[in-house]
Amino acid sequence: MRRRRFTVLLCLLVVLGLAAAPGSAAGFGTIDTGGQSREHERLTRAALSCAGDAGSEPDCIEPVTVDYLAGHGHEFGAVGAPDSDELSDPAAHCDDADYVAGDYPRTRDQATASLVDCLNHLRFGEGLDSAQYMLGADGEVLAAEVGLNPECRSREQREDRAKCATLEGFGRALHGVQDFYAHSNWADRADPARPVGDENPPGLDLPAPTPLLDLRGAAAPGPPPGLSTGCFVARDEVPGVASCTLRVTHAALNKDRGRIDPATGAASDPTTTRGMVGNNFAKAVSGVVTETRRQWQDFRSELVARYGTDRGERIICALTHDDPVNDCGGSSLAVALAVLAGLVVVALGAVLWLRRRRRA
């Protein structure tokens, strides 16, 4: 218990320290202080939780399960996990894919290579691999693999329960997907009051979902020539310093901070420079909600493709329900055997009845 409290406290101190600096690389927030408002949690709930508008979406996620996926209280959750152990990895947050046409320190190919690093880092593989262990050989839901009491503890040690591991794999992918909209110019616009350049990169003003974020393993199409994310170093500011000198920085481009309604996804009160331009923050949030739902649909489709319709759908049921042992049924084989046994009993009863009639 002491070790768990120390780990949580250490993670909070690290994230809080970075949040105190201009333009934290952590992206959307995971805590409710230091300028952050638990943006990752609120976005994930707005997109997937049965408790809000997402309740009308196919396979929305029930309260206890979404608590782990999205985080709650002092818990980062699966979607916040990269902010506890991957803060310095730009691929986990889709950083360092910066580029502006013209005289710029990096080429389009170098920026695209950084984006590919992000996509490769966010693949669904780990979550898909873990999902199979929620079911037994006959397709039955295994209570020991899907229980969430006690809560999943993925930050402290390797989580043995298959449902926890599957949600963590999916949540880590979601983190980078969500950061893409906050850290890139995909959905935003430049400040019309300032000249366009590395301190005010052009915006693409494109809708979500983006074809770039196909995490199922297929080769994504090439990015638009003007796509950029922000270069990040510890001293994140505008204009850029150190290795980010003369480059588009995270501080110049991010739309990480603001208020998000966890039920509806409504966005307000942006606090970053780029986020306050027009409706940039609202567009980033709307894009994330749409993209998160698309990623959940893709993840479910991959589960069915990999494990077949019956097992895949039962895995999805186990992932979305808080009591999957009772809510998601037994295996199709067990049901078939029960039906067969019932037919045998009926047949035997009919034979005995006919024999008694003949004797009479």
pLDDT per position as a tens digit, 48-69: 999 999 999 999 999 999 999 9
List beta partners, residue 229: 184
Residue 4 pLDDT exceeds 60 = no
Q: Which one is predicted more confidently, 71 or 157? A: 71
Which helix or strand (DSSP H or E) is residue 260 part of? strand 259-260
* 63 shares a domain with 199: yes
* 343 shares a domain with 223: no
* 176 shares a domain with 40: yes
Mean pLDDT of the 204-209 span: 98
* 279 shares a domain with 350: no
pLDDT at 54: 95
> For the chain, what is the domain count?
2
Q: What percent of the chain has pLDDT over 90?
A: 74
* 346 shares a domain with 239: no
CA 174 to chain centre: 2
Residue 234 pLDDT exceeds 50 = yes
Question: What is the Cα gyration radius of the chain?
Answer: 24
pTM of the model: 0.85
Domain of residue 247, residue span: 2-329
* 360 shares a domain with 266: no
* 152 shares a domain with 86: yes
Mean pLDDT of the 74-80 span: 91
pLDDT per position as a tens digit, 316-344: 999 999 999 999 986 444 444 444 544 54
